[in-house]
Structure 1
Amino acid sequence: MWYETVEGTDIVVLDRRFKACFAGHVRVERLWTGARWCEGPAWFAAGRYLIWSDIPNNRMLRLADPGDQISVFRENSNNSNGNTVDNQGRLVTCEHRSRRVTRTEIDGSITVLADRWQGRRLNSPNDLVVKSDDSVWFTDPAYGIDGDYEGDKQEPEIEGCHVYRIDPKSGAVERVIDDMVRPNGLAFSPDETLLYVADTGATHVEDGPRHIRRFAVGADGRSLAGGEIFAACSEGLFDGFRLDTEGRIWTSTGEGVHCYDPDGTLIGKVLIPEMVANVTFGGVKLNRLFICGTTSLYSVYLMAKGCKPG
């Protein structure tokens, strides 16, 4: 496997707290290029591999560690977008074209977890996270049905774009957030007392939201309160993001990855020479940040660790 130092990449320290996240000699590496729109990276610890989506090319790709060898994991992926790993080590995926959330079983078969809410088809599930109680939380903007580039142009059946929860026992789909324009990336804090959700409504509404909101999770593990703005994006839009064990948010932006302290301070940046859509933590120690740029996959080693695989 070849590695290269990429022109236009840099680690920018805005606050001394960010400097502690890196060894002094670390650089950003470009691992592969050749996609149209990279998204949804998910790390599978048992197999030591990364899976991510190339949405317009209707495929999913795989990086195997050690060696960082790249191969096609799945063709005809229904224009898959977000991916994650559940608590049993299975792949869970948001599919634009089929307008559903699916789980790939250990034998390779696919189970549909959600494709409707109150009898109406979902818009185009975008990103998702699995909680420790096995519930699946996902966002459902309409990017996959707005046109034919990331799915199939279709009419929405649900008014608005919302956030949903799939109950782990009954499989019931419950709407948990209904006041966003275009909900996108989402993740829980390490102790799961907080849920962060990005709203990329500025893509469709003039002066629309380009921020991450923070919700308090109730004692029942499913109800939400609050929803205040945690951070506003200064470069493009927030899309997908992940948290480390210290509660720092590592989020995609138009210029790379921004890192926020739990107190909301932007403490540093990892500059990438193209728009970034999503990130995840991987590697044996969960200290390698994988970065999905528009056309390429990047990584950088950290002194920080992801709070969970996927």
Structure 2
Amino acid sequence: MPDMRNDDAGTRRRGYAARRYFQQKHETPQGSARFTGSLTNLLARCEKATLISYDPEFESIFAPNASLDLIYTSKNGTPIADEMGIWLWDHNQVWMASATENGTNFVSILDLTRNSITRLKSSNRIEVLNPNGGGYHNGKVYIAGDGNETTAPCIYAVDPVSYQTQIVINSYFGLRFGGPNDLTWASRGGKSWLFFTDDPLSEIYNNGRSSQVPDATWRWDPIGNTLLPVIDRTDVLVPNGIRVNKNSTKLYVTDTPNPLVYGGGVVQTSSGQELFDGSSSSAIYSFDLDVDGFPSNRRLFGIAERGIADGLHLDDAGRVWTGEQDGIVVRSPTGKILGVVNALAIQGVQTTDSDRSPLQNFALAGDMLVILAFDKIYTIKLSSQIVSGMT
């Protein structure tokens, strides 16, 4: 087996893209073209391409001559746009979480009408502490919070009009969670269930205490007020992103590479720096959801080439969108990679091929892709409204 560890990861990635779809339609934000000339020229142009298509379906998702538009830059490089990406369709807003700095982070609200940002302030003194992922359901924004040493990790519900905030889940029979990572709502037959992933984020990032329960994916039934672990570490070792499809028949969960688990391969930067010597699988799994909201029949749906399959969203057609180190990857409902929104073109090689603030989250906002790029926010116009609500 050839030793790939000294190869240029960026060149291998761009070469793969070029071989898979030579006649690329979306070349730059300024226009489109078909590639001609040498392979070297082709690879250079791939690096600058915002959209890299492997299948004609990917091209059909985006508006003709779609452009990458910078709509917001934070002051002094404040890392406002790192996690979450919740679209509130009836308020024309995207809620997002900042990156953690000095053990804390916060929620910001993007007004898509004015392209302005405001910071979430609770109206009843229950602040959302160290937010991560979230979702929108029945007029409330639900947010996973990591907590800290004195406040237990929990799930918050926020009214987007009054900003009244409440804690809806903060333990399992008094046992402390590690740090809820992401959440989603499933609804079938007039019933709804909240699913959330939990891993040791509070201790790692927010000076929190150790978890008292193993990493797991949880299901909360608000009618029966019942909280149950439904996916354990034997199926998903370190659960991260989580979403359901439009009709709540499928549940998707991403796994997180763990350097303490050997056997998952090597991740490198273009300079050859080895970030993980061995890991668990940076995978996306799908599960069937039955009529009572319980998952079964795990299937390996996809694997991130590099980094973590972090931000996770589904559109109404069942396509699965994930934020990965190479960019925003779009897969068909069967798992075929359709194309990539290229992180190299958005953030440059200095960020994309390093361990610094990679593009990992975004929002599907109707007919708009909203890209959360740490201290900047971009949009790309889509050809139609591909989501009608939170998925």
TM over 0.5: yes
Tell me, in whole angstroms, the C-alpha distance in 1 between the residues paired with 2:389 and 2:323. 18
Q: Which has the higher helix share?
A: 2
The alignment's C-alpha RMSD in Å is: 2.1
Partner of 2:67: 27
Tell me, in whole angstroms, the C-alpha distance in 1 between the residues paired with 2:314 and 2:239. 18
8 Å contact from structure 1 (residues 84, 128) kept in 2: yes
Tell me, in whole angstroms, the C-alpha distance in 2 between the residues paired with 1:203 and 1:190. 34
Deviation at 1:118, TM superposition (A): 3.2
Tell me, in whole angstroms, the C-alpha distance in 1 between the residues paired with 2:78 and 2:238. 24
Query: After the TM superposition, which residues 106-185 of structure 1 pair with which residues of structure 2 at under 5 Å, given as runs?
Result: 107-132=162-187, 133-146=191-204, 150-158=205-213, 160-179=214-233, 180-185=236-241
Question: SS at the partner of 2:258?
Answer: helix
Tell me, in whole angstroms, the C-alpha distance in 1 between the residues paired with 2:257 and 2:225. 29
Deviation at 1:184, TM superposition (A): 0.5
The superposition leaves residues 78-128 of structure 1 with CA deviations (integer Å, 9 ceiling, x where unpaired) of 111112111x22111111124000101354322211111133011100101
8 Å contact from structure 2 (residues 200, 210) kept in 1: no
The superposition leaves residues 258-287 of structure 1 with CA deviations (integer Å, 9 ceiling, x where unpaired) of 0001111111000122422222211xxx11
8 Å contact from structure 1 (residues 198, 210) kept in 2: yes
The superposition leaves residues 49-106 of structure 1 with CA deviations (integer Å, 9 ceiling, x where unpaired) of 11111141522111112121122224863111112111x2211111112400010135
CA gap of 1:276–1:69, structure 2 versus 1, over 3 A, is same
CA gap of 1:197–1:307, structure 2 versus 1, over 3 A, is farther
Partner of 1:71: 118
Instruction: Please tell me the residue identity of whatever aligns with 1:54.
Output: S
Partner of 1:195: 251
Deviation at 1:46, TM superposition (A): 2.0
The superposition leaves residues 195-232 of structure 1 with CA deviations (integer Å, 9 ceiling, x where unpaired) of 01000133553331101001011132x22111121001
Tell me, in whole angstroms, the C-alpha distance in 1 between the residues paired with 2:168 and 2:58. 39
CA gap of 1:288–1:266, structure 2 versus 1, over 3 A, is same
**Structure 1 gap ranges (5+):** none
**Structure 2 gap ranges (5+):** 1-28, 31-46, 262-277, 353-357
Query: After the TM superposition, which residues 1-310 of structure 1 pair with which residues of structure 2 at under 5 Å, given as runs?
Result: 10-33=50-73, 34-36=77-79, 38-57=82-101, 58-74=105-121, 77-86=128-137, 88-97=138-147, 98-105=152-159, 107-132=162-187, 133-146=191-204, 150-158=205-213, 160-179=214-233, 180-202=236-258, 204-205=260-261, 206-220=278-292, 222-272=293-343, 273=347, 274=352, 275-282=358-365, 286-304=366-384, 305-309=386-390
Instruction: Please tell me the residue identity of whatever aligns with 1:139.
Output: T
Tell me, in whole angstroms, the C-alpha distance in 2 between the residues paired with 1:109 and 1:203. 40
Q: Where in structure 1 do 4 or more consecutive aligned residues deviate above 6 Å?
A: none
Q: Tell me the TM-score normalized by structure 1.
A: 0.89
Deviation at 1:8, TM superposition (A): 5.1
Q: Tell me the TM-score normalized by structure 2.
A: 0.71
CA gap of 1:39–1:204, structure 2 versus 1, over 3 A, is farther
